[in-house]
Each structure stands twice: as structure tokens, then as C-alpha cells.
Chain A
């Protein structure tokens, strides 16, 4: 158990290390560097040289990587090309805002997905299931910007219940984001709920068909006792991993949603940094998102291991 745990943590660290290498070498391989990107047409002669010295681009690639990586480990992400500000400070508020959005979506989405998934599975192929499953397909497949646009059209333009755009600044306290944050949360929660719900449904159906549940039925265990004591504890385990994988989607999908709603989070900052060609900021955000992704997946694996006695001893096949 401890060895497996250590192995998983080590693998996670290796992945983050590889990500940092990919990000860094990606920027190296692509034509231009932070200075040519930032200065654009003025990138020549003295101006370019000054910029390169200032950002330390005149040193060898390996020296810069070591500098960047060791800085990142200590929480120092360098300075941005535009404005020469500390990236860690720039990112701080944005990260907090994105986490707020994601956390709200998870708080709404997970219980809803569990409830609807179980209802759908227990009423398999009956009207309730068909309605839920059809809505799931809609929520899963329609692009986030389409869902967002439709929600704005209905709840903001027609009904006028909530604002369709976020005007609060990045550094504002959490309370000021309500009610503007409600529509972004709704879009995010909708897609997430659909993904989790699907797994819950199929997992519950699978467990219901297993031998020990059949045995319980034959023994005459009351229906709800069977559902709560025999089916759900086993059926809900795979959900942990799907939630983790959904968080991965969420980190990508949140970019589009933040842009649609003008929400001052990490995703929109990423788009802005890419448009402004501010490579140091893009690198830093990429590293943060990848680290969160790896950490969440690691956490999900550990939770599954803790919750499932069978996995504690079994070898994980990779």
C-alpha cells in the first residue's frame, strides 16, 4: 500500500517535470522568443538586446530552464514580458477566481449528477431515464459557448433575472461576484453534471446486474436497503476518477466560458497572454494548470485506493 502510494506520487512528480520540459522546449522550438514576440516589428538592434538581457534570454537554454524550474518550485514564476510585473502576483487573484468558479460548479454539479444518475439507472429505459439521458447528451455535446449564449439569451436578455456579463474586477472580494457569477457556474455545472451522471448511471446499472446484488434480491432484501447498502457503495467508486477527469475538462472548458462571460479568471488571462504573445505568462499558466490537473488525478487515485479495499493490495496495471 505505502509502496504503491509512493509510486503514484513519484509518477505525478515525473509527469509535472515532463510537462515543464514540454512547455519550455515548446517555446524554445517555436520561432521567436519572448522578446521578439513582445516587441514585434521593433524587435531589432538595441531594443531587442536590452529586452533579452533584462529577461535573461542571452543565457543558454539549460541555464534558463534550471532558473525557471527552480523558481517555479519556490513559487517565483518570473516576470511578464508586457509590463515586467511579477507573474505570481498577476496570477494570484485570477487563480482564486477560477477556483471559486470551479468549486461552485462542483458543489452544484456533483450532488446533482449523483442524484440524477441513480434515478436514471434505477428507472432504466423508463420515461425518467429517457428524459435524463437525452438532456445529458444535449448538455455534453453542445459546445460551451453555445450553451452560454443560449442561457444569456433566456435568463439575461429575455427574463432579465441575472446579468449576462461579469464586470467585477479581478481583485474584488468573493461576495462581489454574485450574482454575476451565476450564469458561468450554471454552464460549467451543466456540462460537468452530464459527464459525471453518465458514469454514475452505467456504473449503477452494472452493479445492479452483478451476482451479489442478484443474491441480495433473492434473499429478499428490501429494495431500498439493497440500493443503499449493496449497490451504491460499490457503484459510486468509479465516480471519483471521473470527477477528476472532469476537472481536467473543466480547466480547458473554463477558458471558453470565462471569455464568453468576461470573467476575470486564469482561463481568460491565458487567452490574453497568448494573444499578447506574453510567453513567460503563458508558460506560467500552463505549468499551473498542468500541476492542478496532475494533483487532482493523484488525489482521486488515493481516494479510490482508500475507499476500495480491493485496490489496496492489487497491483495497478499501467
Chain B
């Protein structure tokens, strides 16, 4: 009996994933968005094998060379192949944000659900602290940690995961408030379930959709933050190719070699736009209204 119920639940999860994916693809903007995201993910995986040149290969004779048949996007100020570097330039960003986003959504999500359920003094105090954290600009919080502990993946992932989890607390808490007064939560309480059981079995399934959409948006904001940090020189360290860093490098030569910025600009923009379009389509497919959402 329980076994059947569980397998039915699994089945419906699987079909609902298919249904949501179908819904996303059925919207033109969602299809374009998902296509861009998938292409970028694939490229991040296979780019080391298909990049025509080594991203470290310096060639003083080809400094700031124009795009041509050999070097499709030209060469940068050190004579490195811009096309190869553009192909490889998203790997670090996708790796860091790909790990940090789920971590942020999970810790922020569960903290938010817990506070929404618990309420009371603790909730009041912690939400004030969340508000206080949110009133500091993201770049300040991140830079202070990065300057103290150094750049690199080992610092960037926990830093991004921590700070981007804080606004998720608010979303999860609000979504929990919407369901916490409903009968089935009351019934679970009456059955004698503990807080953790209620969170896992009753609240999480109902808050999940909101968290998924939030996660997709957080991902794009995190990428924005990551590439901005790289651009400012606090993210990826050279010679590792990264779009933000490449744009920063090529900017100085823009007046006589404007093609240098175009490759990374298009790559970075298409990825972030792709994620946003997908997130919007996902929100519509799951029936979540993001219209009134704040930009932070």
C-alpha cells in the first residue's frame, strides 16, 4: 500500500518534470533560453577538446591582430587566440556558480522554511539580521571576504553561496507563511509529527516550486556578480580565461582593437539572457508570479 503510493509519487514527479520542461519549450522565449543554457553547458564540458589553440599560447607577433581565417576572433594584447579563450572563458564561472547556487538555495530555503514554521522571537530577531545584511551592497560584503581570504574557487564558492542564500531565506519564509496555516500542516501536527518531519513532508513540497524559480534567478545574479568581480580583478586569476577578465583586458585597447571585447561580451550576455528567459518560462510553467519581485 505504502509502496504503491511511493511509486505513484515518484511517477508523478517524473511526469511533472516532463510536463514543466514541455511547458518551457512550448514558449518561444523559454525555448530560446533553454537552448542557450544547454549550448553553454555543453560548450563548458567539451571546449577543452575543441578549442583550436592553447589558451596560454603567447605570440608577440600576433598582438592585437584582426580577426582572420586562422584566428577567428583575432588575438588579444598578448597575442593569445581570442576564439579559444572565449570558448573556455565560461568554465570557471559555470563551475563556481553551478555549485554555489544549489548550496545557497538549500541553506537559505531550509532556514526560511524553518523560520516560517517556528515564528516567534527567534524569527523576529533573525529576520532583522537578514534585513540588515540585505541593506549592505553585495559587492562590499563579497570584496571584504575576498580581500581577506584571497581569490580563487575555494573562497568564491562559499562566499557566493553564503551571501546569495540570505535573500532566499525571505522568499522561503514568505512561501511557508502561505501554507503553514493550511489544514494538512495542522493535521500533521495533530498526528504528532516533529518540526523536521513537517518541514520535509508537508512544507518543502509546497515551497519547492518557489525555490526552484528563485534558484534559477539567483544563478543568473550570481553569474553577474562573479563576472563583475572578475572584471574588477577580484575573481579569476590570469592566465585562466574568463569573460569578465577578458573584457577588462580588452577594454584598454578598444580604440584600435574593438573586436577583442565582442567575443566575451556576446558569450557572457547570451548565457545570462538564456538563464533569465528560462527562469521566466519556468516561473510561468510552475504558475509562480514573479512580476512584483525586487531586483536584488
Contacts and interface: CB of A to CB of B under 8 A. Distances in A.
Given A137-B273, A141-B272, A245 B296 contact: yes
A245 B131 contact: no
Given A195-B295, A248-B296, A256 B276 contact: no
Interface residues of B, number: 44
B277 to A, nearest CB: 7
B291 A202 contact: yes
Contacts of A157: 254-255, 258
B166 to A, nearest CB: 11
Interface in A267-292: 270-271, 274-275, 277, 282, 285-286, 289-290
A26 interface: yes
A202 B283 CA distance: 15
Given A19-B135, A248-B296, A143 B272 contact: yes
B1 interface: no
B140 interface: yes
A277 B244 CA distance: 23
Interface string B112-153: 000000000000000111011111111110011101100000
B296 A32 contact: no
Contacts of A158: 258
A290 B248 CA distance: 29
Nearest to A277: B147
Contacts of B272: 141-143
Contacts of B140: 252, 255, 270, 274, 282, 285-286, 289
Given A143-B268, A198-B291, A274 B133 contact: no
B295 A245 contact: yes
B228 interface: yes
B136 A141 contact: no
Contact of A142 (B231, B261, B269): B269
Given A30-B144, A246-B295, A146 B265 contact: yes
Given A152-B254, A256-B232, A145 B244 contact: yes
A242 interface: yes
A31 B148 contact: yes
Contacts of A23: 136
Given A140-B276, A252-B137, A22 B132 contact: yes
A138 B273 contact: yes
A157 B254 CA distance: 7
A285 to B, nearest CB: 8
A140 B136 CA distance: 21
A269 B137 CA distance: 14
A217 interface: no
A146 B247 contact: yes
B296 A144 contact: no
Contacts of B268: 143, 146
Which secondary structure dominates chain B's binding surface? helix
A158 B220 CA distance: 31
Given A137-B277, A271-B143, A274-B144, A18 B227 contact: no
Nearest to A31: B148
A259 interface: yes
Nearest to A30: B148
Q: B140, B143, B148, B251: which has the most chain A beta carbons within 10 Å?
A: B140
B20 interface: no
Contacts of B247: 145-146, 149
Nearest to B251: A149
Contacts of A141: 220, 224, 269, 272-273, 276
B261 A149 contact: yes
Interface in A63-79: none
A31 B135 CA distance: 24
B136 A289 contact: yes
A157 B261 CA distance: 13
Interface of B: 127-129, 131-140, 143-145, 147-148, 220, 224, 227-228, 231-232, 244, 247-248, 251, 254-255, 258, 261, 265, 268-269, 272-273, 276-277, 291-292, 294-296
For the complex of A and B, list the 8 residue pairs with the smallest distance between their C-beta atoms, beginning with the closest.
A252-B137, A202-B291, A18-B132, A245-B294, A293-B135, A195-B295, A290-B135, A19-B132
29 contacts: A18-B129, A18-B131, A21-B132, A26-B144, A137-B276, A140-B276, A140-B295, A141-B224, A141-B269, A142-B272, A142-B273, A145-B248, A149-B251, A149-B261, A157-B254, A157-B258, A242-B294, A242-B295, A245-B295, A248-B135, A249-B296, A255-B137, A255-B139, A271-B232, A274-B143, A274-B144, A282-B140, A293-B135, A294-B135
